[in-house]
A = this chain, B = another copy of it.
Amino acid sequence: MRVSLAGFLAFVLCLGWLSAHPPKGGTSVDNAMDTQLPLKTFRGMQAEAKGCIECHAKKNPGIVADWKMSQHAHAGVSCIDCHGVTKDSPMLTMDGHEGSKVPISVLVSTNTCAKCHEKEVTEFRHSGHVRGAVQIWAKANMRDLMVMVEGRNHPDLKHAPAATGCQQCHGSIIQLNKNHRPTPETWPTYGIGTAFPDGSVGNCASCHSAHKFSLEEARKPAACASCHLGPDHPDIEIYNNSMHGHIFNAEGAKWNFNAAPGTWKVPDFRAPTCATCHMSGNAKSAVTHNVSRRLKWNLFMPLSKLRTGGYETASDDYKYENKITIGNPLAGNPKGPEAARAEMEAGCVDCHNKQHIDNFFIMADKNIMLYNEYWKEAVKMKDELAKKHLLGKDMWADDFQNTMYHMWHHEGRRMRQGGIMGAPDYSHWHGVFEVQQDIRKLRKIYAKRLKTNKIED
């Protein structure tokens, strides 16, 4: 183990403290942007950057090769522009190294990206993506699952599940040790909701991977697929199951993914990718990095609800209020759920007539509401069992609660997301077909507990 005991204890203490005290987003959160270096206005390469490039081309050739292919390199944006920080920045990880005197950070936050891409970062800040990390630490049951349940509350190993699992998609709340180095428990992560020491939240490199930061990459389904997969939200599987995915998988290799921002549209492609529907411009909506904006429903919650909450708040809560919150799960379109749907449908029109679109959404919406019927029945049974003290304390060892969790978190999401994204196999076999069996299992356990007045062993 390369982490010292002292270092680890410091981390554990820090984590304990975290539960009680939401971490501050840097030393001077209110003017966090002030810790960013101003953007240079000339196009040439900085002398210091040449030093970085020459040395790292030998040590880490992939980084430099990537950058050379990037729009950044072509625009004269180089190492220091993103990694350079002020000496007193909460982001500082090295105050010069290998002969260079430039203070730098190995971390690059959205504050940095916003120096040039302010519109994109603002939109992104309004999206559910930024809730990724902070919402986890805002919920006691999530912390318990990761650390106590899965990590067995083991003194040395308990943070491994979060570090190798949750945080790699959700992001982490990055902590620096006393030497200003990010701790292994919180970094590296490619998680999209990563909270940085400067108080900013979010990670552009989740989709536009470093150090190429490619537009083309983020337009392809693979960019979303490394997180949007698996039993609880099999979005890439859903896409592949859909007619859209069918067409992309058959022909997408020949499409034009490299159109300039805001100009990517039919016939650059024959079928939409994730980015097309959720982000690309159409008749009713400009290009947006707020992926929640065109969503009518919240489909990850146990009960499907209309997204009536406007913008996401988790990033601002963290950055400006120093609070770790679950944000705004009903974030969506500031004009409400029907406006969200209208902005989504404006994309469908490129290839489908109105009757087609209307019919499709009528049934997909009904499918979502149908799921709610299952959920409400389960809740009713659970409430009655709770009242009669017939629920186990450890929900993961209690068949009723465990089945109910899966009915929501796994099967129920697949039913809803499969239907709304045109994936019959996920809507049916991985969705409602399993949900209907879950409810039967719940009814059986419920009846047995009521009958015997005890929890089965």
Contact = CB atoms under 8 A, between A and B. Distances in A.
B222 A250 contact: yes
A350 B60 contact: yes
Contacts of A2: 358, 362
B402 A250 contact: no
A106 B422 CA distance: 20
B209 A246 contact: yes
Contacts of A364: 160, 164
Contacts of A164: 363-364, 367, 418-419, 424, 427-428
Nearest to A452: B457
Contact of A225 (B62, B240, B253): B240
Interface stretch (A37-45, A301-309, A325-333, A441-449): A441-449
A214 interface: yes
A229 interface: yes
A425 B229 contact: yes
Nearest to A158: B370
A250 B229 contact: no
Contacts of A418: 164-165
A126 B1 CA distance: 28
Contacts of A150: 428, 432-433, 435-436
Interface in A326-383: 349-353, 355-356, 358-360, 362-367, 369-370, 373-374
Interface of A: 1-3, 59-63, 65-66, 68-69, 93, 106, 149-152, 154, 156-161, 163-169, 181-185, 187-188, 190, 209, 212, 214, 216-217, 220, 222-223, 225-227, 229-232, 240-243, 245-251, 253, 265-267, 270-271, 349-353, 355-356, 358-360, 362-367, 369-370, 373-374, 394, 396-397, 402, 418-419, 422, 424-425, 427-433, 435-437, 440, 443-444, 447-448, 451, 457
